[in-house]
Structure 1
């Protein structure tokens, strides 16, 4: 027997405050002896107005008459426009209290209540209070318009759970629904619906809390609500709570059905205890439920995942003995289990057995075989399956394409993968763009940037735009082959498409420009990189400074050393030594010492190689002095 709790009550201000008001978070529920005056909305106590002379005004201008006017208009099925026009002068006096009174007037006509509620929310832009929502939900549920009631329950949950300034409002929807039962017709199904609404919103803890409150208040949930809760708890791995709900169902006398047992079978399979599974199945049969197709598929899937194929195929045989006919899911799961064990040939035989028994294969069953053959490197079988699929009117999807392309890539046959893509396009099959990106990157990694560039040009004609990473990988690969012109073209394409280059791309192009003696352009690219917020690294420093040193532009090299130190706090000893070496080979030790002093002040430190270069420079300077002395003596 269902009894109504008599101790739940809200303050009227709590129920009537809109969710948009931040002070709503500070309100709280309190328990007290029941007093209907807290929540009853008597028409004899309308919202007070400042002057008694309002009674002398016409009804459409009298705020005290707003509830009667709206109810009258709704009774005659007037439009929203009519409502707004007739009440234009007194709409500012339409508050939460008046809205609740109108809804209560419309209890026997849910369509009027629904129209009014929607009009207030959408046309007037008024945020409904908890009480308004609870009333409309009860009215709709009483009239058995469950779809609309469920919609508003879900909407209310979203409103309540939105955090304002990082604080979640202290609102209890369950209590709000309880309070409103004192004033309107209601259906206990509302409290089952609340469980389902919480599960739908992914809030399984709140759903479980609602279940417990229902039990405590003697609102016995139905089996559908319980199964929904079990499913949600299973999905979020609340395994212990699943058994709590299951046991409570038995204690309350809720008749558990096949769905209940199948959900819990799935829970046990996730838990991984086979002994418990067998014991549970025995208990299930004792209660008069025989395992059905879903039960067997759940168990077979579990055994296959645990690589217990013998047990899986034993159940497969038992299904026929017990008159349960395996379906497409059964066969696909078994095929996948065989493929995981490397038994692709046996999986293919099972596939043909399935077809002979009149079960049409789908994309998943084909993909299972394609995946298995790809892992074994039997690409000719994949190709054969692909043609079979297309012949049977099954269009390969992104998973099929990915398996085949990656299979060819593993065998080092990227050109075959490209040909396969072209062939699929001829069949009118749309290739997923991530497959194009995968091929471009794979060609680059295999050292075939020119093939990747040509492939990109051909597919770009169909409107394809590569991912940023594909562009960068192609630029990097082209630069390794010193094809800096193509790399710069790709860089321009990226800029046009508002794609930013990263350090890898800048490093590749700058290093390549330095290698082909275009150091001035490389330095210009360094400035562009710096202005875009990309920080240079050691490789860029070495490429630029080494290039300037080779060109004997030592002053520019010194200037760059200072730039890298000040802008990026980059003190590369190898770059520093490259500059030292140039001065030493020229025997210009005096200038070297002056420059060393300046570079030491900004943070550069000499090492053993620096000392070796300096010693060599001193020797070179002495040799040059001796040569000059000899020349002078000869002239004399």
Structure 2
């Protein structure tokens, strides 16, 4: 055994683990340096893992432990070689990620002026920013157009849309078009609103929304073009796989009542119930009252029964209106069936309705009125 190996073995046995590793590394390095051949053409590689202090060895071990096991690729698929964000299609409207830094500051400034009621100054700031380096986003444009619409300045809202999106070549989104359509409708220019809808279908990179159809339906109804609102827009709603909502149904039903077309109104209300749309009690009470005033008392019972089969149930006020009308028409049997429905569904009875039923029971006992069938036991 050579002298070097003896020294190495003794250092490993006596020293602690970390110190032994350092000493062994130093001894090996010194041994390799002294045992290099004299020929420089074939140099012997020297180990670079030699440390002079225990802290350096510990730090190196800790560093190597935290190194990633898998080196990430230099080129990620789908990411441009130059780095940074990919370029956005200039034919598409702004997204929420574009509302950052100076453009966000501009948007907040315009919104602050709108909330302060200074709409004209907000409009001036938004219009002047088009010629600066910080062009407004579509959200800023929509905010000022919406404020003009809410202030019933429909002509100014239309003019701002034309300025931003036609003269200054900003790209509108569906919200921008919806404000333009409702502004045309409220301004009595329904035909222009229909032209905007046709333009969206043919040129926009998106489809009309349910709000678009609702605005057009309201505009046609206000223009007393109910048949066109039903036959054309209703067909387009179904063709676009957009389910008509409660607001659309209510607008059509109210328009039918105003035109005296009670049967069509009743048909649309029945469709709304069959579609499972929620009918709020306030509107149900109004609708049943309209139906009773037009002499459709008997038709109320099957519709109310169908409403009771789904949730949410009609409230006690709705039952009260229909039951009183049936009792007034001497249809006691149908009225009692509705009372039993109230008890079965757990709707409960109004104290006023209970008093009315007791009065009818007293009248029945005195023989002033004869019921069709059954008795009026509460």
TM-score by length of 1: 0.38
- For 2:350, the equivalent position in structure 1 comes to 502
**Counterpart-to-counterpart distance in 2, 1:444 and 1:436:** 12
The structure-2 alpha-carbon separation of the partners of 1:353 and 1:377, relative to structure 1 and needing over 3 Å to count, comes to same
SS at 2:299 equivalent: helix
State the 1:447 CA deviation.
4.0
The structure-2 alpha-carbon separation of the partners of 1:396 and 1:285, relative to structure 1 and needing over 3 Å to count, comes to closer
Map 1:42-191 to 2 at 5 A: none
Determine which structure has the larger helix proportion and give its number. 1
Query: Gaps spanning 5+ residues in structure 2: where?
Result: 1-98, 370-374
**Counterpart-to-counterpart distance in 1, 2:150 and 2:311:** 42
SS at 2:348 equivalent: coil
Q: 1:334 aligns with which of 167, 170, 180?
A: 180
State the 1:271 CA deviation.
2.6
- For 2:302, the equivalent position in structure 1 comes to 454
State the 1:401 CA deviation.
1.8
Q: How big is each residue's C-alpha offset from its partner over 1:22-48, in whole Å with a ceiling of 9 and x where there is no partner? A: xxxxxxxxxxxxxxxxxxxxxxxxxxx
State the 1:441 CA deviation.
4.3
Q: 1:309 aligns with which of 154, 157, 160?
A: 154
The answer to whether residue 125 in structure 2 is matched with residue 277 in structure 1 is: no
State the 1:295 CA deviation.
1.5
Tell me which of the two structures has the higher relative contact order, counting C-alpha pairs closer than 8 angstroms and 6 or more residues apart.
Answer: 2
Q: Is contact 2:249–2:272 with CA below 8 Å preserved after alignment?
A: no
**Counterpart-to-counterpart distance in 2, 1:464 and 1:445:** 26
**Counterpart-to-counterpart distance in 2, 1:262 and 1:478:** 59
Q: How big is each residue's C-alpha offset from its partner over 1:469-519, in whole Å with a ceiling of 9 and x where there is no partner? A: 211111121122233333233223222333332243234434444555547
Q: Is contact 1:437–1:467 with CA below 8 Å preserved after alignment?
A: no
Q: Is contact 1:440–1:456 with CA below 8 Å preserved after alignment?
A: no
SS at 2:313 equivalent: coil
**Counterpart-to-counterpart distance in 2, 1:283 and 1:460:** 58
- For 2:338, the equivalent position in structure 1 comes to 490
- For 2:292, the equivalent position in structure 1 comes to 444
State the 1:396 CA deviation.
1.0
Map 1:252-271 to 2 at 5 A: 257-271=102-116
**Counterpart-to-counterpart distance in 1, 2:273 and 2:296:** 23
Q: Is contact 1:297–1:330 with CA below 8 Å preserved after alignment?
A: yes
**Counterpart-to-counterpart distance in 2, 1:297 and 1:482:** 58
The structure-2 alpha-carbon separation of the partners of 1:388 and 1:416, relative to structure 1 and needing over 3 Å to count, comes to same
State the 1:282 CA deviation.
7.0
Q: How big is each residue's C-alpha offset from its partner over 1:446-473, in whole Å with a ceiling of 9 and x where there is no partner? A: 4422110132235555677322221111
State the 1:329 CA deviation.
0.8
**Counterpart-to-counterpart distance in 2, 1:482 and 1:404:** 32
**Counterpart-to-counterpart distance in 1, 2:311 and 2:143:** 44
Q: Is contact 2:213–2:233 with CA below 8 Å preserved after alignment?
A: yes
The answer to whether residue 346 in structure 2 is matched with residue 346 in structure 1 is: no
The structure-2 alpha-carbon separation of the partners of 1:283 and 1:333, relative to structure 1 and needing over 3 Å to count, comes to closer
The structure-2 alpha-carbon separation of the partners of 1:299 and 1:464, relative to structure 1 and needing over 3 Å to count, comes to closer
Query: Gaps spanning 5+ residues in structure 1: where?
Result: 1-226, 228-254, 529-636
Q: Is contact 2:297–2:326 with CA below 8 Å preserved after alignment?
A: yes
**Counterpart-to-counterpart distance in 1, 2:128 and 2:154:** 25
The structure-2 alpha-carbon separation of the partners of 1:485 and 1:424, relative to structure 1 and needing over 3 Å to count, comes to closer
- For 1:404, the equivalent position in structure 2 comes to 252
- For 2:261, the equivalent position in structure 1 comes to 413
Q: How big is each residue's C-alpha offset from its partner over 1:407-434, in whole Å with a ceiling of 9 and x where there is no partner? A: 22332323212323455788xx443343
Q: Is contact 2:246–2:278 with CA below 8 Å preserved after alignment?
A: yes
**Counterpart-to-counterpart distance in 2, 1:269 and 1:303:** 10
